[in-house]
């Protein structure tokens, strides 16, 4: 086996039994916690230990069959005895089909912890986890925030931190201390169905937003034992989002240089921010299922990056090693591969086969006790830090702000900054409140399309579970202009025409037609698609209304950019709402009618054609067109783009030096003026380009940004700084390096060259 080259050397152990990881620097661990772990583990049997490494779904504890639980939901006491006492399972997850009330959650968690703490010999509490990814979305009446891609469109990390803080509060109010969030996969392929769960295509923006969300969940000092904080779970490590097919859980081929430069940094930022757990990529990378890759899980994650928390599988992924990936013949071989690679906890999630087989692997000498002990230490470390031994269950009665106005307002403010204005021809927007409007399209009158997947149900498609009293786009438009001034015709479903001719007829004579388009709700493989173009029925609706001559404003509620270039010239206005959450209808109407000046900016490139899916940080070779010009990259709307109801003017771009030694920060300043007559928020984006490098440089890379408030007529000087490390890339020897030479700083349309004149190349650690 060839070891990867790295600036910090790490062990390359190819033994079949694995071994204990040296990942956790003793200097970084709390000695009191470690001593407490020693005391607990000294009394644990092998059965206790393999039980701790097992995670089952709530289905395995409930009346009914997996995926088809009885209603109303009820825990099965015989199953509880078997799972928690006899097999000593240490972690439970998920919800049984749909959201529960906070009262039912308290009943569930209390009962589970009673069995774990009072009935099994070790008395170790259960660690319960849930996919609280945009609020506590599996608890009835919880506050639902914009999804991650929508949050990224705000370019405001503080809003993600607030979302994390509210989610932590309401998840603890549900008696649960652990969320499987944030998603730190880089969303570079708009075909990928989990794009909306990411923070977009850029590593810098994604890293900043992810770091903020971790701090929101865990607190500034990661004191996850606080009753208002929870443990976060970074996912999905590593290379999950760039599959060759664009479909979920299919093969990816990612060179190590690219992996380290683009896909590791977001996770490293979150690890440095203190995130306590991590979930592994369900796919395979370079022909190796990541769950079996010791170089990724132990050498890179645990040893090099120094991660000392729990390394968790995704749903049933060890079983998939033999049923899908075919790298193991059976369960025995699959578990051996995964545990020896560095997995600490298996999301089984429906039966006890993992627990029994792992015990046998240890008894057979195929998995070492040192590997088991390392995994169990990590699990206990998180349980202790969460305060589960002292407080196994938190009560909703202690969380009076749950689902209240304060939290709803936080979601509303976030949604307002999500909404991104992409086209405003002839100043069609904002619309007049004295006008008459047609509202039509499949996403106009449904909360499902504002929230997307992971909303009260897995796919977010059950209308019966939507929060009462929340406004659809149609509802919110009516609130702005009055019921009598709004005509609603459905027009189409997502994929099928319903009454397009009636919609076109209703558009005649109206001030404007607000046409709400987008996608059905989905997550994971359910969202795989064959064509990125907007469905034909929706394009036909736009074409029919365009023939009436009534101005059209499109509103997209969608998880990824669906191509609509065939009708784009026929519309006057385009708004991207993404998946803005429960307050997204109100926020969209605020922008449509000018009560809010839009400040969203795209965290992705919006493609013009289905076969032109080039991210903004492409290489220059991607720009060569068929006529040999450099115009091949031509998205519908570029990364970082977004309009406003005011205008901004940039001037006076300055650097503190044009000959930089790289030892002290490079200071960049630029004047930004609001030259319009409305207050606004502007995202100042700083990009760089490297003119010549030993690895072909990107056309440009985002290096810094700042979102500022500017009153009408106001001018501010914005100061941003760059370190030499900010310009580094992973070189041919897999070391992070900033090479001497010429660079350019770009802000808006301004460019300033400078030269790094270090005596030698500058090298940096991971």
Active site residues: 314
**Any bridge partners for residue 763, and if so which?**
737
Close Cβ partners of 349 (under 8 Å, ≥ 6 residues apart): 55, 56, 57, 59, 60, 93, 94, 315, 316
**Nearest residue to 652 via CA among 718, 743, 721:** 718
Give residue 577's Cα distance to chain centre.
Answer: 17
Residue 657 CA to residue 653 CA, distance in Å, equals 12
**Nearest residue to 276 via CA among 325, 235, 335:** 235
Decide if 154 contacts 202 (C-beta within 8 A). no
The dihedrals phi and psi of 14, each to the nearest 5 degrees, come to: -105, 15
Decide if 340 contacts 294 (C-beta within 8 A). yes
Give the DSSP letter of residue 397.
G
Tokens standing for 737? 């390096």
Residue 737 CA to residue 725 CA, distance in Å, equals 8
Decide if 715 contacts 675 (C-beta within 8 A). no
Tokens standing for 328? 């193991």
Tokens standing for 205? 């923006």
Residue 144 CA to residue 453 CA, distance in Å, equals 12
Decide if 586 contacts 611 (C-beta within 8 A). no
- Sign, Cα dihedral of 152, 261, 292, 89: negative
CB atoms within 10 A of CB 639: 22
Q: How far apart are the first and last CA of the chain?
A: 22
**Nearest residue to 375 via CA among 49, 103, 737, 713:** 49
* 72: preceding bond cis by omega (within 30 degrees): yes
The dihedrals phi and psi of 18, each to the nearest 5 degrees, come to: 65, -145
Give the DSSP letter of residue 698.
B
Decide if 696 contacts 735 (C-beta within 8 A). no
Tokens standing for 373? 């002990």
Close Cβ partners of 108 (under 8 Å, ≥ 6 residues apart): 58, 75, 100, 175
E strands, 166-283, are: 178-179, 233-237, 277-280
Angle at CA 471, nearest 5°, toward 466 and 475? 130
Report H helices in 276-344. 294, 320-323, 331-341
Tokens standing for 94? 């998920």
Residue 3 CA to residue 13 CA, distance in Å, equals 9
Cα-Cα-Cα-Cα dihedral of 481, 482, 486, 488, to 10°? 120
**Any bridge partners for residue 689, and if so which?**
744
Residue matched to tokens 């992810």: 210
H, E, C per residue of 580-600: CCCCHHHHHHHHHCCCCCCCC
Torsion-angle region of 25 (φ positive above 0: left; ψ -120 to 50: alpha; else: beta): beta
Residue 542 CA to residue 495 CA, distance in Å, equals 14
Report H helices in 364-404. 369-385
Decide if 228 contacts 261 (C-beta within 8 A). no
Residue 699 CA to residue 688 CA, distance in Å, equals 9
CB atoms within 10 A of CB 725: 12
């Amino acid at each position: 086996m060839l070891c990867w080259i790295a600036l910090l050397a790490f062990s390359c152990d190819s033994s079949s039994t694995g071994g204990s990881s040296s990942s956790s620097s003793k200097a970084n661990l709390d000695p009191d916690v470690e001593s407490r772990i020693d005391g607990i583990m000294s009394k644990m049997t092998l059965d206790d230990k393999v039980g701790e490494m097992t995670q089952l779904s709530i289905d395995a504890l409930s009346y009914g069959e997996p995926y088809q639980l009885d209603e109303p939901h009820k825990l099965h006491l015989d199953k509880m005895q078997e799972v928690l006492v006899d097999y000593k399972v240490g972690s439970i997850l998920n919800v049984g089909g749909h959201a529960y009330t906070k009262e039912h959650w308290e009943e569930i968690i209390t009962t589970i912890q009673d069995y774990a703490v009072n009935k099994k010999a070790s008395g170790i509490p259960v660690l319960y986890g849930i996919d609280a990814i945009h609020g506590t979305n599996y608890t009835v009446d919880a506050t639902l925030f914009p999804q991650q891609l929508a949050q990224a469109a705000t370019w405001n990390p503080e809003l993600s931190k607030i979302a994390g803080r509210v989610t932590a509060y309401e998840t603890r109010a549900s008696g649960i201390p652990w969320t499987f969030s944030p998603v730190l996969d880089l969303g570079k392929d708009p075909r990928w169905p989990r794009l909306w769960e990411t923070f977009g295509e850029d590593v810098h923006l994604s890293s900043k937003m992810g770091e903020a969300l971790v701090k929101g969940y865990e607190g500034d000092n990661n004191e996850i034992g606080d009753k208002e904080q929870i443990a976060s779970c970074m996912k999905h490590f590593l290379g999950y989002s760039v599959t060759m097919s664009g479909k979920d859980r299919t093969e990816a081929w990612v060179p190590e240089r690219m992996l380290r430069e683009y896909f590791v940094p977001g996770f490293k930022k979150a690890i440095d921010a203190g995130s306590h757990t991590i979930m592994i990529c369900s796919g395979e990378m370079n022909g190796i299922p990541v769950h079996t890759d010791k170089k990724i899980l132990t050498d890179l994650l645990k040893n090099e990056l120094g991660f000392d928390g729990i390394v968790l599988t995704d749903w049933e992924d060890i079983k998939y090693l033999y049923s899908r990936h075919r790298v193991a013949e059976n369960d025995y071989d699959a578990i051996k591969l995964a545990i020896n690679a560095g997995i600490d906890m298996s999301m089984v999630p429906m039966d006890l086969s993992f627990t029994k087989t792992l015990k046998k692997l240890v008894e057979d000498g195929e998995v070492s006790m040192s590997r088991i002990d390392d995994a169990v230490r990590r699990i206990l470390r998180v349980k202790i830090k969460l305060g589960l031994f002292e407080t196994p269950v938190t009560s909703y009665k202690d969380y009076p702000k749950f689902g209240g106005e304060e939290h709803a307002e936080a979601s509303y403010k976030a949604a307002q900054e999500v909404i991104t204005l992409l086209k405003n021809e002839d100043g069609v927007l904002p619309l007049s409140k004295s006008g008459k409007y047609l509202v039509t399209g499949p996403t106009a009158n449904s909360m499902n399309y504002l929230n997307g997947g992971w909303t009260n149900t897995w796919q977010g498609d059950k209308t019966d579970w939507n929060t009462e009293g929340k406004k659809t786009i149609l509802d919110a438009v009516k609130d702005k202009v009055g019921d009598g001034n709004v005509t609603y015709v459905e027009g189409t479903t997502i994929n099928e025409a319903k009454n397009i001719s009636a919609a076109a007829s209703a558009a005649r004579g109206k001030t404007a037609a607000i046409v709400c388009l987008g996608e059905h709700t989905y997550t994971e493989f359910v969202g795989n698609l064959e064509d990125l173009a907007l469905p034909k029925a929706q394009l036909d609706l736009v074409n029919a209304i365009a023939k009436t001559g009534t101005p059209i404003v499109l509103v997209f509620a969608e998880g990824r950019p669906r191509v609509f270039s065939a009708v784009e010239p026929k519309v006057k206005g385009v708004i991207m709402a993404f998946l803005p959450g429960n307050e997204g209808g109100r926020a969209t109407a605020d922008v449509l009618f000018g009560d809010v000046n839009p400040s969203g900016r795209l965290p992705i490139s919006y493609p013009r054609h289905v076969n032109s899916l080039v991210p903004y940080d492409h290489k220059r070779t991607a720009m060569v067109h068929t006529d040999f010009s450099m115009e091949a990259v031509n998205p519908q709307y570029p990364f970082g783009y977004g309009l406003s109801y005011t205008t901004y003017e940039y001037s006076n771009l300055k650097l503190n030096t044009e000959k930089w030694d790289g030892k002290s920060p490079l200071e960049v300043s630029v004047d930004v003026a609001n030259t319009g007559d409305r207050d606004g928020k502007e995202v100042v984006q700083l990009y760089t380009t490297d003119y010549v490098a030993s690895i072909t440089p990107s056309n440009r890379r985002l290096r810094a940004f700042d979102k500022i408030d500017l009153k009408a007529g106001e001018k501010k000087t914005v100061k941003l700084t760059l370190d030499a490390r900010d310009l580094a890339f992973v070189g041919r020897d897999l070391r992070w390096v900033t090479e001497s030479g010429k660079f350019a700083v770009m802000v808006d349309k301004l460019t300033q060259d400078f030269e790094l004149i270090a005596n030698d190349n500058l090298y940096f650690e991971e």
